[in-house]
Structure 1
């Protein structure tokens, strides 16, 4: 008997009952329940994907809500994975939701990914993207990739062999990661709130097409969308001869690889908000804000020296202390400033950078 919940899609002749059965039997893992993951999860659950896994160790913050519309103000401080699972179960109690309230790592990736048919990468940092890509290649799992920044987003389907046997992966487009401080994430660069909704929905659509065996998925193609002018284009991704040599040979080698180190700057020791709090109480530290003037959030909780990154190199002689902790909005520019300091002073000064920036510190204070 036809389920009225799915009648609008089963009535499509290209989809039909066969497509719905395939969705009900499918297992999809969404890594990251943030800007991209939220819309993807909502539409995958609504469509009736039988088993959905959610990987995220983050908690809901006020700054998330303009784009992560799965959550509400009452959810601030709650686990994203656990809260998303509750909301999705209420949306569709006929499916199974499996939350993983943890970050994906080299030690748990094989165990988690092996349980699912298709993986969606909704993360927002390069270390996670390379880790997820390499794990999917090793496990033979298709990967639906999405990324956003400012007004532009990308979607692609990797690790799915075409009829001629060709299969591309993320490293065929981006063989090696940029330094951690070279490219800004959404916290630093900003993002228009509607963009992750569109890109995340496209990611869900690609997964549904793959599962239901309909349409022309973005296999071996990278689609780019610009929300300012509504222009879209896609590029064919050719498997590159050297890309597989960059991926660990097996899961033992994968577990030994440090993806954070691979994508990070070595100019400074990164510290978490708790350690930052300790340093604020130590008068031997010089605390430096490298944000541009008038950036938000405004900081009134402690004293600091403002040296904007745009003119930082000209201002380093103002720093007299030998122990320095640098912060910016999300932790990217502070690493860049640390590199500049290290080039001037070498190892004569101890340099620290606040990981996640002042936004992470503010969120930590609110929890």
Structure 2
């Protein structure tokens, strides 16, 4: 049996293979660069050992001979493990007792992986690069969009369409060209996570969805890496340091993992993205900066220092106080990832049998209504065009976005009834039910998800309606199919 491929399929395949080859060549170039740095460091260490011995002998000679002019001897480069350029660049933090020479040397030797080059990853990466973390890896498969720019500060207008990883590295190399940067131009998956994590000392979770949070945490437990995780939405954020200290599953002295704190994912319908719920740029910036701060504290800490007790930091921009700290328990005895009876294993991860999408119940975009309960954006246009103003027989256009979005843009004569709180409104406000009685109701939202849930809720609460349908694809479909000037936010 012969399978026919269209020209577009072949072109897409060729383009994908070229991208894969380019990514492999870039990775090979990075490995060669790492080898060169490692060999250089090896030679420096050998030379430094001999230099240190000669230096100590000369100091003892100076102490025994008052006429010895030791101070006139020209200092050799990197006598103290850092170059003069390093002292100049990092001097303001070197003189702090929390960092000092040993802390800066730990930073220089550290290998840190940042998963996500967006609102959290951009500021976190910038401050880690500025502080002199020797190797920074970035993982992200997305490209820069215009809607990213108000908060993802490593990107710029002229780099729209570029891989976020490449855009961020352009920014970082301009900030500090002396570090080793490793790009990973693909989304993290269960089959690739352990291989990538094995090359780093510490991981930052700068993603924005439960599926990636559970995956990253599981991979950190299995690979023995501390994890600095943060999230932000609207005007609030959370920060937590997990798997610190990193111990094998079952070790009671190890730090809790993400599953210990959140054994069960939130209901899929309650998960709101920045595109749906919004985000204030400085809020996600604050959380990314705090991730960088916690990472620097972990790296520069003395190896003998005890790990601080686990806690969850909560930030709310419009609250007083803005910060609250919640103490957390240690590892859960029944945790699926880090307990003695853990079910998340290396083989289950690398084999692909771990289905994080199914575990989190992700259904986005949702599709829960029959075709008979949906209309297209074009059909909505026909309905509006054939309806007269103030016609009691005309369908009711029910906009279930929140009041702020409704104020931004709305269809003429539409009614705003936000999905958040809709069940209470239907229960407590009898006038709403009365206004919909005997009418055709068309429900619309931004993307076509909330509108479907609202149709289900309305059908159960107001059976006296003539009909109730959702507009498939919401205002995104309206913009794409009907009105290209409709605001794209």
What per-residue deviation string (whole Å, max 9, x for no partner) do you get for residues 36-58 of structure 1?
Answer: 11110000111111111111122
Q: Which residue of 2 aligns with 1:12?
A: 96
Q: Which residue of 2 aligns with 1:144?
A: 228
Q: Which residue of 2 aligns with 1:104?
A: 188
Superposed, which structure 2 residues align to 1:18-37 within 5 Å? 18-37=102-121
SS in 2 for 1:60: coil
Higher RCO by CA contacts (8 Å cutoff, separation 6 or greater): 1
Q: Distance in 2 between matches of 1:351 and 1:45?
A: 48
Number of residue pairs the alignment of both structures matches = 348
Structure 2, gaps ≥5 residues long: 1-77, 369-375, 384-396, 427-432, 462-468
1:180/1:332 contact within 8 Å kept = no
2:266/2:360 contact within 8 Å kept = yes
CA displacement at 1:32 relative to structure 2: 0.9
Q: Distance in 2 between matches of 1:253 and 1:317?
A: 54
CA displacement at 1:62 relative to structure 2: 2.4
Distance change in 2, residues 1:31/1:282 (3 Å) = farther
TM-score by length of 2: 0.60
CA displacement at 1:95 relative to structure 2: 0.5
TM-score by length of 1: 0.78
Superposed, which structure 2 residues align to 1:274-353 within 5 Å? 290-292=400-402, 295=405, 298=409, 309=419, 328-329=446-447, 333=450, 336-337=453-454, 340=457
Distance change in 2, residues 1:143/1:318 (3 Å) = farther
Distance change in 2, residues 1:83/1:238 (3 Å) = same
Distance change in 2, residues 1:270/1:204 (3 Å) = farther
**CA RMSD after TM alignment:** 4.1
What per-residue deviation string (whole Å, max 9, x for no partner) do you get for residues 314-367 of structure 1?
Answer: 77997899xx9x7635x76357448659989xxxxx999759x779989xxx9x
Q: Which residue of 1 aligns with 2:344?
A: 249
Distance change in 2, residues 1:86/1:268 (3 Å) = closer
Q: Which residue of 1 aligns with 2:391?
A: none
Q: Distance in 1 between matches of 2:359 and 2:470?
A: 20
CA displacement at 1:265 relative to structure 2: 5.1
1:24/1:48 contact within 8 Å kept = yes
Q: Distance in 1 between matches of 2:479 and 2:127?
A: 29
Structure holding more strand per residue = 1
Q: Distance in 1 between matches of 2:410 and 2:140?
A: 29
Q: Which residue of 2 aligns with 1:259?
A: 356
Distance change in 2, residues 1:32/1:339 (3 Å) = farther
2:257/2:337 contact within 8 Å kept = no
Structure 1, gaps ≥5 residues long: 272-278, 345-349
Moved more, 18-27 or 7-16: 7-16
